[in-house]
Each structure stands twice: as C-alpha cells, then as structure tokens.
Structure 1
C-alpha cells in the first residue's frame, strides 16, 4: 500500500478518543470538547460537531448589566457562544496553538482575544485595561477566570512561561502577552527610547510590567487588534 493512499491518510489523521476528560487536544491546534451540558467558547470557533448540540450567542443580560457595560468597550473580541447538549464539539482559532489548564481553585488572567473555551462552572469577569485602551488599536481587555474547571487558550506558535519573583519584575510587549497568574496586576510603562528605536507610535514603547510572585505567558508573535472602525 502506498504511504500516500487514502487509507494511510485517514489512519494517520482520524479522530481518536484519548479519554482525557471534557477537554482534549485532538491536535495541537484543534480542541475537542466532550460535551454533556454547557460550555462557553469563542464566537466563531466551532469547526465541527456531532451529537445533539445547540449554539446560542451570549445573552445580553446573561451575565448581568455590569459585564454588558464592559463589553461595549471591548468590541467583538469578547463575544462568547454557549454550546449546550451532548456530543463532541471541535473548536479552533485561526490555526493557533492551544493550551489547556485545569484550574483547581486557582485564578488566571487570559487576553480576551486568546480565550478559546472554558467550562461553565468557572467564575469569570472581563477586565478592560483602560489606561492603554486609547493607545493601541482596539484597546486591550482580558478575562479573569477562577474556580474548578478547564480553560483553553490559544497562542501564535509555542508559548513561553516566564516566572515573576519579588524584586525581579518582568516586562512584556502587550501585543505578545497571552496570560498571567491571577494574583498579578500589571502596570503599564512607556519607554521613549524604544519608541525611537522602532518608530511605531503604538508598539514597543508601551510595556506591561509584572511585579510580585507568579508567572506570565508570552508568545513569539505581536498580535495586532483592530477596533473594527
């Protein structure tokens, strides 16, 4: 049999149950959700499903008026879709690499554009970075998740986790920052020298400064956010 035959292709690429729980990495870039109830996913991330699953856009008052007001500032990037029912759901986001974290009472911040899916039982809230919203195209927002359950986020290529220790702050490019531990509160600093080097009004001159004890996840890619205007 030719190594390029249809049988060989199907055998190599077909879906395989790994028995890892509700969230499984079917490939590095496709998340399988073994659904029996509800799950929140990024709007437009569904690529396939089987079973009896119903999809609905996040209700206007689904999470209260406070979050609705925040969503007015954050734009389409924060739009969520609720999948309900029983079956297998496959989600992905522009071929980005997927990371799964199983929270056990911990908390984590994830850039809103990188949040792919999370279990319904997790507590979450949108946090808008108002101080730099006007400095960058589309602004920046993140989502804080806490409790018991799985969350999946995406990154362009392989993510790198940097440890933050007291007295040893970490500086990152906002466009390359994916996530950080829930106990950290980043500051924003401006470096005029870097702005001169790169010649970009909204680029490396703005940095996120993480101080304390925790971690921050970065990607080897500067993501550009659009306001949609």
Structure 2
C-alpha cells in the first residue's frame, strides 16, 4: 500500500531532537550519550538500537515525593535511532528550553524530557488543596549550555497563553504548565464555584504575570480540588 494516506502518516524528515508526528505522537531522535526520561509505558515504537531502564536511580531517589500526586513513573531510554512516544491518544506538546529556562509542569502531563535537564518536584507558591496539602508540580530546568527538550500531553487541543500581553488567569483544574519564575496571584470568585472549576461555593483562579507563557487544556484535571491559602 503506497497511497497518499500511508505517505501522509509515514515518518517525517528528521530535524530536531523532538518533534510531533501528527498531533498524538512525539518523535525523538536518539543519539549515544543523550539519554531521555520518558513516561513508563509511553513507547509505541522505535527504529534503531534503543534500550530502556524502567527504574533509573534518578527516579528512585524521588520516589518519596510521589505521595504528593505529582510524581510520574519514568523510564530511561538510551541508544541511537528514532523513538516514538504517546499517552493514550492525548495531544502532544513539544517545547525547547534554552539555557537558563525552566518550566513547571503538572506531573500527569509529562511525556518525556532530556535526561541532561535538572528536575524536581516543587510546591506552587500560594496554592493549597482542600485537604490542606500543597499543589505540587514537576519543575524542569535547563542548566546546560545547549538546548533542552520537553514533551508534554494535553487532554484535547491545548492553548498557549502569552503572559507578556496581559495578566493571565486560568482554572487550576485545566492548568498544564507555565514558565517558572512568573509572578503568581490568587483571585477568589466567591459564590461562583459552579461556574469556575469544580469547587464548592468558592472558586479561584491563578493569575500569571511576567515574561512567559501558560499552557491550558480543554479537559479539567482529576487531581483534588484546590483552595486559596491565606
């Protein structure tokens, strides 16, 4: 079968370290010495010689942080070839971090990132769950001298909001990721819990200001509801 349909869904030309193959698949160019952290079970295919370690030491040392709900089971991929990743048909977002840049990501939305990037689970300032626990994200930083790559997923077609243009407010249940270092404020909406998110009586949004972006998805996240602290 060599028709246009097959050609349309065939491999795309190799360009960047990470790219989108359609809207649901991330394609990663693998080289020796350039390992990748990927969500466990996300590999759907590969070409070449690629090996996988299901429990890398870097993940085991953060296992205690998974109780926050923002930990993500990761595997290490290494070798040479083309690696294809997906997460149950979710839309893929590919992002390049320049040296010094960082992004804060909901752990459930992480698909893969370069193993050379620094990462850890950190609390989002000023936000608490109704249980009293904090809101935790996975913060990925590029402390290298070159570019770093991150792939995320979204439940539906995501939108990227530019926080440079105006103060940007989002429903926390729809939040996928944001530029680390943005100023964050809380906005209460008393009595409108049924209109914003899934709160009960009082809802709030997170406001972002500064040089950067916020990524939101059209489907609300399933993590516990949040409240404003203080």
Q: Determine if the TM-score, normalized by the shorter chain, exceeds 0.5.
A: yes
Q: Which residue of 1 aligns with 2:151?
A: 152
- Aligned in 2, Cα 1:19/1:52: closer, same or farther, shift over 3 Å? closer
> Cα offset for 1:21?
2.4
8 Å contact from structure 1 (residues 198, 204) kept in 2: no
> Cα offset for 1:90?
0.8
Q: Which residue of 2 aligns with 1:44?
A: 41
Aligned length: 216
Q: Which runs of 5+ in 1 are unaligned?
A: 1-5
Q: Which residue of 1 aligns with 2:168?
A: 170
- Find the residue that maps to 2:58 and give its secondary structure: coil
Equivalent of 1:57 in 50, 54, 59: 54
Q: Which residue of 1 aligns with 2:203?
A: 205
> Cα offset for 1:123?
1.4
8 Å contact from structure 2 (residues 173, 197) kept in 1: no
Partner Cα distance (1:212, 1:21) in 2: 28
Partner Cα distance (2:105, 2:94) in 1: 12
Q: Which runs of 5+ in 2 are unaligned?
A: 225-230
Partner Cα distance (1:203, 1:126) in 2: 30
> Cα offset for 1:127?
1.7
Partner Cα distance (2:81, 2:181) in 1: 35
Q: Which whole-Å deviations, capped at 9, do the CAs of 1:170-219 have from their partners, x for residues lacking one?
A: 22111111111121153445433221556944698142222344321212
Larger CA deviation: 184-193 vs 143-152:
184-193
8 Å contact from structure 2 (residues 171, 197) kept in 1: no
Does residue 102 in structure 1 map to residue 100 in structure 2?
Answer: no
Does residue 192 in structure 1 map to residue 203 in structure 2?
Answer: no
- Find the residue that maps to 2:222 and give its secondary structure: coil
Does residue 111 in structure 1 map to residue 111 in structure 2?
Answer: no
8 Å contact from structure 1 (residues 135, 202) kept in 2: no
The structure that is helix-richer by fraction is: 1
Aligned CA-pair RMSD: 3.1
Partner Cα distance (1:195, 1:83) in 2: 43
Q: TM-score, normalised by structure 2?
A: 0.78
